[in-house]
Chains A and B, each alone.
Chain A
Amino acid sequence: MEIIKNFPCLSILMCMFAAIISSALNGKWAKWLNAFVLTAVGAMSLAVLYLTVSTGESYIYVMGHFPAPFGNEIRFGSLEAGIAFFFCVIMMLSLNGGRKKLQFEINPSKENLYYIMVDLLLSSLLALVYTNDLFTAYVFVEINTISACGLIMITENGHTIEAAARYMIMSLLGSGLFLIGICLLYDLTGHLLMSNIRVGIDAIVTNGTYKAPLLVTIALIVVGLAIKSALFPFHAWLPNAYGYSTVSSAAILSSLVSKGYIFLLIKIIYRVIGFDTFRDSKIINVLFVFGLAGMIMGSLSAIRENDIRRMISFSSVAQIGYIYMGFGLGTTVGMIASIFHILSHAATKSLLFVSGAGLTDVSGDRKEFIELTGAAYRNICAGLAFTVGSLAMVGIPVFSGFVSKLLFSQAAVQNAHKLLPTLIALAISTILNTIYFMKTVIRIYTPVKSKYTSVSVKENPLYVITLLCFVVLNIVLGMWSQPITDWIAQGLSVFA
């Protein structure tokens, strides 16, 4: 059992080393190494999850030999372990789903670079999840940004380079704000370790001093991370970045990268600022409003879109709006809903990207809707999977989206002031989601005499299995959500 406690640190290091080693390998080996690392990390996270759930406690792992408040720490409870495991699963599936297409999307000589980026990304995500040190978090935020940019740019076309540049600028802006926030925190409390800052902040709050600086700090951190996770109105970089990068990149970026930041934000809210302090600040109202606006505006943009990939990307803007709206409700239930939505959105969005790629593949690689007509008949699996993803997005029972909707609304009902706007925005957003997703579904099921050839199920077993896994994941999230919400609640309870 003791050995398991080393796993979080080990998995971060493993990823980093894999990245380093991959630079010396060719594409194929890099791929295998990456697959191995992913599996190993997944397994280790699962073990950690088992440990933390079974004991119901959280653990601190001291890096090196300096104890707090000087040393660097890793902290893991059940929530962190679960999220890490989930990230591995999604990443694995997303990579598998886009594996075949990757050959055509990037220059084969750059394949190992691609996997380096993926490895780095994973390591930074894991670090964001596990770390107990704000400055470490900042470092990995930057690593995350860089590797994400690499993933976006690697297709080497004009759109992606532009998108990557935009992404870089917005991200740096975000991390800049984040950094200032950290500095201010350090200024206020003299610490960088989360638990220690928390003690300091609690003292400040009880004394009632430094109100304005504290507010500014919270605002800076929240806004910084919100920019990085593409909360409306900071989403301008997103559609192109997701829309034109490789399939796997898009899936990973939308379901993991932004979620990594959001998870970091949750961690900061609970472990650094303190949930009550956060709730009492005005920031949550701002988040709430932006969340609602994002839900609506993202969907409206998606409706106007004529490119399936960009449409799915805009849908991400809306979904991130949901998550922030959950923050904005300022209740633990709302937080649980948001975390659940992180999971459900990750599972759904990557499914949509991967299956969407399957549909565009059989439509001459065109992403316009008109070309997609009847695509579901040409690639049956992708069609079905896309339908499932759409239904989940719309929030049809059985699929994961429904549960998040349920949780959000239940959370909203407990907040008398934000109840009506939330519920109405949810309903409207559902309608808007229906409009663009169902339009697409009907479109792909409209038969035409097409000039494109169809693919059979057998041609690409890996792809089909990936889709199947995604679908199952969605249904599991949708049908047996009780253990998951229990786990989230338990994880949150040991957070503070």
Chain B
Amino acid sequence: MLIDSIIMAVHPSVLLLIALGTVFGAIIGALPGFSSVMAISLLLPVVYPMDPLLGLLVLGSIYMGAMYGDANAAILLNIPGTASALPTTFDGFPMAQQGRAREAMLAALAGSVFGGAVGVLVLMMTFGVLAEFSLRFGPQEYFWLTVLGLTTIAALSEGNLVKGLAGGGLGIAISMIGLDPYWGMPRFTFDAPPLVAGIHLIPALLGLFCVAQVLSSLESPAGDRRPPEVGRQKDALRKVLGTMVRRWDVMVRSSAIGVLIGMLPGAGGPIASTISYNETRRWDRDSRSFGTGRVEGVFASETANNAMVGGSLIPMMALGIPGNVNAAVILGALLSFGMRPGMSLISDGTGIATAFMIGLLISSLLLAPLAYFIIIRLSILVLRVPRTYLAPTILIFASVGAYSVTNSSYGVAIMAALGIGGYALRRIGIHAAPVGLGLILGPIAEREFTSSLLIAQAQGSYWTLVMRPISLVLVALCLLSIMTPLLLSMRDRMRKRRLAPDSEKQQ
């Protein structure tokens, strides 16, 4: 039976389609303002009349490719191609600035391949069992999960915890503009009609990361000449593979986190990559250096967000409950081909579902050659362009991307406002990353908190917010996350005082 599915999956026409889908997905993922969901939906009309296996694999490979592609813009331009690549910017962009762009991109690729493959393998092997576990996550667990993600802010802002947390709070505050999640009424909109729609995420991220970055780059004259050779980094591949093997713990942990969080309906890519980044940093010997260009940071983020692909399909295929919107669209296609979620998928005798999963595995593995020979080459070219031409062009791309989300200049307005505002904030020490995290995780945190509160009130006890097995574990992790940087910086301060009691206070 399995053999039949494998034979189906390696048929040349299937392989070709997987390759095309993966590349297409990678390109779409790299374009800020575009998500894999948009790409998948564009292709739905094309997919319907197709053979079920081909149709599902087109969608699946685009999904997989996009979760890799979003890393390239993150590394080269400090713009996360999709929100899931946000943590990739934390170390990826510094690496690029140090001339190690090739290493970063290869790490992103290696991580994506590894994570993607692991995610699909877990999907194939555990199918029913894990799906049941994912249902045990209720609003309380989701809330603590987002809090855990937000504590990453503390980790990133070790230099200045106060400003970092304030930035995060500001991000959450901005995300609250729009409709109230419970009453459905407009709030914080100051009677301005466009604001009722809220501050759309992608234009906001484009502003915070892309526009602010461009403005920042204009502070120093660099201009017309081509930037110095990026450093051929001939040994980049060897270095990356070596790190991957040496740090197998990072790879395994990130994959596990990616799959686990992918399984939780509604949790999504950004949470997976953020928590993976945080945990990798936590368990590292030299955690202070994260954010300055640690390749492990890139591994953590990218491995997790590709492992999430397989993870999100677990509850979708086993229970009919998709892990995120991408999985939901694929579920729609699955249903339209006459297939039903559940154990019947693998026992219905057609072997299509199994072939689909094998095809996804192939997609993640194909990323390696496809990206290496095509995409990374193309991306490096971007670095060679003199800043004079690069800066305005990036702004145009970002503007179009922002426009496309809202189909009106509202998106561009958001981008410009957050871009200029974000730049100003950067000058006073509040960086884009904490604000971005607040923007992404804030709405989820609020919704889940409100639901948890309602349930607690109905059951008459506020203990339910915390006194649940999974929640307790998560709360403990949160406390650890905040305490560690605090304790470390206090220890540093004491050390400094002991060594040089006459030196003036720092900061």
Same assembly: no
